[in-house]
Amino acid sequence: MTDFIFFAGLQQALLLSLAVILLRLVRPLLLRQGAGFTYASWWLVPLMLLTQALPRPATEPLGIVLTAASAPAAVRLTTVPVLPASSTTQWLALWLAGTLAVLALQAWRQWRLAQLGESFVAGSSPALVGLLSPRIALPVDFEQRFTPEERELILVHEAMHRARLDNLWNLLATLLTAMHWWNPLAWWAASRMQADHELARDASVLRHRPDSIATYTRALLAAHSLRAPSAPIASRWVSTHPLIERIAMLNRRQMLNRRRIALLGLCLLSTVGLAWAAQTAPAAAPNAQRVYIQTEIHIGNHVSKPGLITVLGVPATFGIDHGDGSGHWEIVMTVTQQPDGQLLVHTERRFGNPPQKLDGNHSQINASGNPIELTFPAPDGGPAFVMKRVVRLVAADFNPSR
C-alpha cells in the first residue's frame, strides 16, 4: 500500500512540474493576451493532476520495478526503477511529515491573521481574508495613506477577489505546496498564481472604470512599501510582481472574451489530452499480486541478468542495447494466473531502432518458480536472443537484494 501511495505521489509531482514548466515557458505569450488570460491559464495545473484519475485502457505499463541483480549498462529499461518496500515506507513517512509541518505552519499563520479582525497594523496591505465568509481587512492608517478615490478603487479590487472566489484558489495553492513541499516548482507556481490574480483583478477594476488608470497607478505607488499578510488564505492588494511590471500591465486590459476563452480552452484540453496519453497505464491496485521475473539474457557474447517486479496483468517492458551493431531488442511480458494457479506468461518481441513489433508472440504456462528457456532469431541475421526466465509470485515486501 505504501509503495502505491508513494509512486502515485511521484507521478503527481511529475505532472505538476510539467504543467508549471510549460506555463513558465509560454508566460511571455500569455501576458500578451492580458492578465485575465494569464490567470485563467493556471487551470492547467489542477487539470493535469486530474489526468491520473481518468479511466484509460491498460494496454501499456505505467511502470515496472527494476531490481537488476547484475544488469550491465547495456540493459535499458523503458520505465523508472523504484525503491525497495522498506525504503518506500521511509520516504513516504518523510514526505508526510513535511506535508503536515507545512500545513501546521500555514494554519498557524492563518489563525494569527484571523486574530487581528478587520484592522491590521499600520503599514500593512489591505486584504480579503477568509474562505467561507471572507472579509476585507484594512490597516489602521488606510485613510491617511490613500485618497478617497484611491480607497474606493482598492475596495472595489478586494470586492473583485471576493466575487471571483480567489481565496479558494489560494487554498488550493496552499494544499499543493504542502503536498509537494520539497518541489521548488510548486512554491514558484503558488507565488506566481497569487501575483497573477492581483493583475487580473487590476484589469477587472479598470475594465469597469477605464478613466481611473491614473488614480489606480497612484494607489499602487502609495502601497509600494506595504507589508503583505503571510497567511495563505488572503488576497492582498500588494503583490509579488515588480511594481513597474504591475503598472505596465494596467495598459494591457484585454477582455477575456469568448474568442480568448475558446482559445484558452482548446490549449488546455490539448495539453491535458497529451498528458493523459503519455501516461502509459493506470497504477496497479494496492492489493495486486506481485510477480518477480528473473532473467538471464544471451545475445552473442553479451550476457545480462535483469530482474523485474510487476503485478499480475500489468505488462513489464525492458530493452537491451548493444554497441556492436547487433541490434536493439524490446521484450514485453505480461503475467496472468490461471484457475489452477499456474502462471501464463505472454511474451511480445520488438526489434530495431525504433523497435518494431515482430510476428509470432509467445505464450507459455508454467508453475510459479519453474525455469524456461526461449530463443528468438534476430530479423537482421544477427545473433539470436536467448532468454532463460523464472517467473514466480512474491510478497508485497519482496526485495531480491536481500
| Of 398 and 282, more confident | 398
pLDDT at 65: 35
pLDDT at 3: 64
Same domain? 264 vs 311? no
Same domain? 236 vs 177? yes
What is residue 250's three-state secondary structure?
coil
Out of 246, 278, 310, pick the residue that ends a domain: 278
Find where cell 484509460 sits.
56
Same domain? 165 vs 244? yes
pLDDT at 148: 95
Spatial distance between the Cα atoms of 381 and 384, rounded to a whole number of angstroms? 8
Same domain? 191 vs 274? yes
Out of 278, 301, 332, pick the residue that ends a domain: 278
Same domain? 211 vs 254? yes
pLDDT at 260: 79
**Domain contains 401:** no
**Domain contains 200:** yes
Out of 232, 258, 278, pick the residue that ends a domain: 278
Same domain? 168 vs 194? yes
Task: State yes or no: pLDDT of 2 exceeds 90.
Answer: no
Segment 348-360 shows an average pLDDT of 82
Enumerate the β-bridge partners of residue 236: 127
pLDDT at 69: 36
pLDDT at 79: 39
Same domain? 252 vs 317? no
- Chain-centre distance of CA 87, in angstroms? 22
**Domain contains 76:** no
Residue 171 domain boundaries: 2-57+84-278
Same domain? 108 vs 207? yes
Pair 331, 316: CB distance under 8 Å: no
Domain count, the chain: 2
The model's pTM is 0.65
pLDDT at 84: 47
Same domain? 299 vs 349? yes
Please classify residue 117 by burial: count the beta carbons closer than 10 Å to its beta carbon, then call 0-12 exposed, 13-18 middle and 19+ buried.
exposed
Task: State yes or no: pLDDT of 16 exceeds 60.
Answer: yes
**Domain contains 231:** yes
Same domain? 217 vs 299? no
Q: What is the pLDDT of residues 271-299, one digit of tens each?
A: 888 877 777 554 444 557 888 998 998 88
pLDDT at 74: 40
**Domain contains 102:** yes
Spatial distance between the Cα atoms of 63 and 391, rounded to a whole number of angstroms? 18
What average pLDDT does the chain have? 82
**Domain contains 349:** yes
**Domain contains 72:** no
Pair 325, 380: CB distance under 8 Å: no
pLDDT at 188: 95
Segment 67-72 shows an average pLDDT of 37
pLDDT at 300: 81
Same domain? 105 vs 244? yes
**Domain contains 174:** yes
Residue 243: band (very low, low, confident or very high) from pLDDT cuts 50, 70, 90: confident
pLDDT at 146: 95
Same domain? 269 vs 319? no
